Amino acid sequence: MIRRARDPASLLALLEGRANAEREAAVARYLRARGVEPARHRFASFEGEGENFSVDVGEGPRTLVLIAHHDAVPGSPGANDNAAAVAVLLTLLERLPRLVGPGMRVRLLFTAAEELGYLGARAWVREQPLGDIAGVLSLELCGIGDCLALWDAAGETPFLDAVRAAFEAHGLTRDQGYHVVGRIPVFGSDHRAFAAAGIPAYGLSVMPVAHAAALRRFVLTPARGLLMHLVRRPPPFDTYHTPRDAASTVKPAAMDLIGGALETLVVAMRQGV
């Protein structure tokens, strides 16, 4: 039985400002305290080491994988990158049993060492079975903004159609409530390990719609973006990988937005969308 979680904003303190080993242990401890024993996947290589945790809800031949990495870069409290995403999935976990229908499974995957070139996700893809995965979303930067951004969506797939349909069903309109962006040259996340294995996989973030044009320039033309934003990068990248990435900058409404959209996606996939 999954014990009730707190709201996502209150969970930021679970990880914020902690060393990566402490962040990793905090996720496992939190899950066990709520009656959930995660599957543990420890990995080590010359690049680094860590432990991934996964929790499955439901059973069936189709699996939706939702990822949030629990590590942060040194020197950053790591609130928006990526404690906010972890908090969203921990809150979603409590709601999943009533949302997941027959024939499908939702896997919440909490990865280590994303900041080391998606090391944890790459180890998972290399060592775990992947045949039943219908699609993957990797949550990044989920605590600042009022618009969803689905990125690295360079080609059409049935899973991409399902995600867009779910966003629309959630009341989000394209280019206002959500944006779909193609391959981003520099920034990436754990979904790329799955995409390299031929699985439909995308990044999912929350962004401020008022800064959409500046954000597109910044992420799609990074050299030009660095020159244009040498003094001030557009939010949420103004705190990204800096000591300013603190819980005080994270907005509960942003986490609620992405959490609600994910609930709608789970229901839509249950209904065969």
Question: Over its length of 273 residues, how does the chain's per-residue pLDDT go in tens digits?
Answer: 444 556 788 899 999 999 999 999 999 999 999 999 999 999 999 999 999 999 999 998 899 999 999 999 999 999 999 999 999 999 999 999 999 988 899 999 999 999 999 999 999 999 999 999 999 999 999 999 999 999 999 889 999 999 999 999 999 999 999 999 999 988 899 999 999 999 999 999 999 999 988 888 888 876 654 544 455 789 999 999 999 999 999 999 999 999 999 999 999 998 665
Alpha carbons within 13 angstroms on the beta-carbon side of residue 39 total 10
Domains of the chain are 8-270 (3.40.630.10)
**Contact between residue 53 and residue 27 where contact means Cβ atoms under 8 Å apart:** yes
Residue 182 CB coordination number (10 Å): 10
| Beta-carbon contacts of residue 41 (< 8 Å; ≥ 6 apart) | 51, 52, 53, 54, 123, 124, 127, 128
Kind and range of the H or E element at 206? strand 201-207
Contacts for 40 with CB less than 8 Å, ≥ 6 apart: 28, 51, 52, 53
Q: pTM, whole model, 2 decimals?
A: 0.95
Which pLDDT score is estimated for 8? Answer: 83
